[in-house]
Amino acid sequence: MFTRDKLTFEAVALPDRCDLSEDEMRAAAAGFHERMRKRHTVRQFSDRPVPRSVIADCVRTAGTAPSGANHQPWHFVAISDPEIKHQIRQAAEAEEEKFYAGGAGEEWLKALEPIGTDQSKPHLDIAPWLIVVFAQRFGTFDDGSRFKNYYVPESVGIATGFLIAALHHAGLTALTHTPNPMRFLNALLGRPQSEKAVMILAVGHPAKDATVPAVAKIKKPLEEILTVL
């Protein structure tokens, strides 16, 4: 974190060490892959409640992510209030209507056809929690003066990945949603202009009749995503 106080480098002993044998490493890597392989994105949510403490622990996990100069340039707003969720849905659907009416362009809309999405976003009402991810483009001190954050998109992207993995590990489903633009979220959620909303995560349990697009289960094989030199 960045402060006005002068911070100097101080090396401390590695506080936590996970020392596994090769067999244990293989088992752990394969086991984590198997767990994450069962992560699915759904658009049909149950209104089954999710404890606030679970959401807090998942966000706490996101906060352990590495970041540029350790500035941790992120903020997460977790919303369970039905009225605020509905306001977010109304504003998001207004942007989505323009998107699907042609604002996205023909190529983008064609790419989305196998996913089966449209401008209707009932999950923003039904999911028990919405988590809005904000990127802090710069930091501010109490007097309003600014300081620079570094590698903000990369840092926030890593933290969001941690969050999604933590939510899945807790037995929850998360749906990423990125209406564009999302400036309405700053005013609605009381966040400063130094922050930029980058994603809405709908979080909860899938509905009993939840489905996934068949195409979403087609993943690139390892040889297409890994090069070993």
Residue-wise pLDDT tens digits, 140-162: 888 888 999 999 999 999 999 99
Mean pLDDT of 53-66: 98
Quote the CA–CA distance of 181 and 146 in Å, as a whole number: 25
Mean pLDDT of 110-131: 95
State phi, psi for 131 to the nearest 5 degrees. Answer: -115, 120
Mean pLDDT of 5-22: 89
**pLDDT given at position 67:** 97
This prediction's pTM? 0.94
Dihedral sign, CA of 164, 168, 172, 174?
Answer: positive
Model confidence band, residue 1 (pLDDT cutoffs 50, 70, 90): low
Quote the CA–CA distance of 22 and 25 in Å, as a whole number: 5
- Mean pLDDT in the chain? 94
- What is the DSSP code string of 50-113? --HHHHHHHHHHHTTS--BTT---EEEEEE--HHHHHHHHHHHHHHHHHIIIIIT-HHHHHHHG
**pLDDT given at position 2:** 65
Mean pLDDT of 133-143: 91
Give the count of beta carbons closer than 10 Å to the beta carbon of residue 140: 13
Q: Where are the domains of the chain?
A: 42-211
Mean pLDDT of 204-215: 96
User: Side chain identity at 212, as an amino acid letter?
Assistant: V
Topology of the domain covering 42-211? NADH Oxidase (3.40.109)
Model confidence band, residue 56 (pLDDT cutoffs 50, 70, 90): very high
Mean pLDDT of 68-95: 97
